[in-house]
Every structure is written in structure tokens, then in C-alpha cells.
């Protein structure tokens, strides 16, 4: 009974450590996505500023072309002191006081589709104040799909990668002092069959150099296990991480 209780306590401790590690990974991924979203939002405002510079230069040069140059996903509208006849303004909000710029997300701006961040700039001309309205796509909080995929890939262990690393670590631990701890954890979490396989690996490595062959066998065994029981992937990842730490301690 005493041995069973000890194993049960160690099993719960390993599970708790795995859960804590998973929460840390998720927290780091969320912070990364918030950072990426902030950078993308700053880049979007920079694009709007560049569009404003292009339009202002055209205003200074003389009559405006019928089509204003814009970047991908941008919309630019110039209103002179008489408020440009024809299409309605894409926005009605304006900067107040001495501010020359005002920005606001609109879903959607007039004559446009989708949610966009509209930035309205004042341009002072002899005949009065002109307005340059620039619309750029709203940036999601996570930045872009690339950042999202990277964060998900980093926070969720992939079964094949976990199996590959697990095979390497298990073979290394089989002939080391950490074997006794790992053997108990494997029996408790993965089952007696895997504990027996680890014992067989230890015996083989003590009589011959078969690390490469044993790693291949373990990789196939763990891939099959995680394919049939993908719910064990986070636990397996934590077991491999803890074993690696104990090997280097």
C-alpha cells in the first residue's frame, strides 16, 4: 500500500507539473500574439501615414488625378475646402482642436466593405482646410495568421515531434540513474507494457551498443501510442521534458 501511495503521489505531481507547464506555454503564446498584434497595428498606421504623405504631395503639386495611388487594401479620399462633390465622405468624424489627425475603426466606412481603421488628416491650404481620409484593414488582436499558427504550433506539442524526442530521451535514460524514476513514471502513466519495454532496452544497452536501433523502436512505439491516444501528448511531452532535466542535473 505504501508503494502504491508513493506512486500515486508522484503521478499526481507529474500531472500537476504538466498542467502548469501547459498553462505557461499558453500564457507565453498569448503574450506573443498580443505583441504581434501591436506590431501589426503600428505597421498599419505607418501605411496610413505613407498614404497621407503621397496624397499631400499631390495636393501641393496641383490638380489631383482622378484615381489616387493607394497600397494593397488601402482606400484614400481627399476632400477640399468645399467638401468634394460626388461620392459621400468615407467618414464624418474629424480631428478636433490643434490635432491634425484622428483615427477610428469603422465597420464598414461609407462606400467600403469590412471593418477598417480610418485615419483622417487635416491639410492646411490657402483656401481652407483640406481633409485626407485613409482607410486600412483593421488588424486582428493576434496580428496575422502566420503569428497565430506559430503560437499554436509552439504551445501545442505535436505528437510526432513528441514521439521522436521521447524515443531519444528514453534510450538515453535507460542506461542512466534516472532510469529508476522514469521506469516508475512510464508504468504509472503509459502502462506496464511500456515499463517492460524500457527494462528490455536497459538490458540490451548494457550488453551491446544498440542506441540507434532502440531509438527507432521506441519512436515507432510512441508514435503508435500517441496516434491511438492523442490525449496523452501533453503528458508525454512533460514526461520527456522532466526526464531531460533529470538527465542533465
pLDDT in tens, 129-143: 777 788 887 777 776
Query: Residue 114, by phi and psi: left (phi above 0), alpha (psi -120 to 50) or beta?
Result: left
| Tens-place pLDDT, residues 51-92 | 777 777 777 766 665 556 556 656 777 766 555 444 677 777
Q: Decide if 117 contacts 140 (C-beta within 8 A).
A: no
Residue 150's pLDDT band, with cuts at 50, 70 and 90, is low
pTM above 0.85, yes or no: no
pLDDT of 97: 72
Domain boundaries, the chain: 36-137, 157-248
The three-state secondary structure class of 102 is: strand
Angstrom distance (rounded) from CA 9 to CA 4: 9
CB atoms within 10 A of CB 24: 11
CB atoms within 10 A of CB 147: 19
What is the phi/psi pair of residue 165, to 5°? -70, -35
DSSP state of 112: -
Amino acid at each position: 500500500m505504501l508503494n502504491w501511495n508513493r506512486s500515486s503521489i508522484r503521478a499526481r505531481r507529474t500531472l500537476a507539473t504538466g498542467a502548469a507547464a501547459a498553462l505557461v506555454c499558453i500564457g507565453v503564446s498569448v503574450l506573443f500574439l498580443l505583441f504581434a498584434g501591436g506590431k501589426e497595428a503600428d505597421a498599419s498606421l505607418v501605411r496610413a501615414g505613407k498614404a497621407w504623405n503621397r496624397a499631400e504631395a499631390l495636393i501641393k503639386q496641383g490638380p489631383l488625378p482622378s484615381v489616387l495611388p493607394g497600397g494593397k487594401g488601402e482606400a484614400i479620399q481627399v476632400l477640399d475646402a468645399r467638401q468634394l462633390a460626388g461620392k459621400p465622405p468615407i467618414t464624418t468624424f474629424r480631428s478636433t482642436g490643434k490635432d491634425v489627425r484622428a483615427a477610428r475603426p469603422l465597420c464598414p466606412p461609407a462606400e467600403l466593405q469590412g471593418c477598417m481603421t480610418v485615419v483622417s488628416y487635416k491639410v492646411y491650404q490657402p483656401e481652407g482646410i483640406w481633409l485626407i481620409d485613409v482607410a486600412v484593414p483593421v488588424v486582428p488582436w493576434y496580428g496575422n495568421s502566420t503569428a497565430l499558427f506559430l503560437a499554436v504550433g509552439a504551445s501545442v506539442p505535436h505528437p510526432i515531434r513528441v514521439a521522436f524526442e521521447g524515443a531519444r530521451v528514453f534510450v538515453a535514460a535507460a542506461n542512466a540513474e534516472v532510469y529508476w524514476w522514469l521506469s516508475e513514471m512510464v508504468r504509472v502513466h503509459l502502462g506496464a507494457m511500456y515499463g517492460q519495454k524500457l527494462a528490455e532496452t536497459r538490458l540490451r544497452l548494457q550488453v551491446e551498443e544498440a542506441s540507434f536501433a532502440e531509438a527507432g523502436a521506441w519512436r515507432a512505439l510512441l508514435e503508435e501510442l500517441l496516434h491511438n491516444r492523442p490525449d496523452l501528448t501533453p503528458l508525454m511531452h512533460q514526461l520527456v521534458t522532466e526526464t531531460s532535466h533529470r538527465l542533465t542535473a
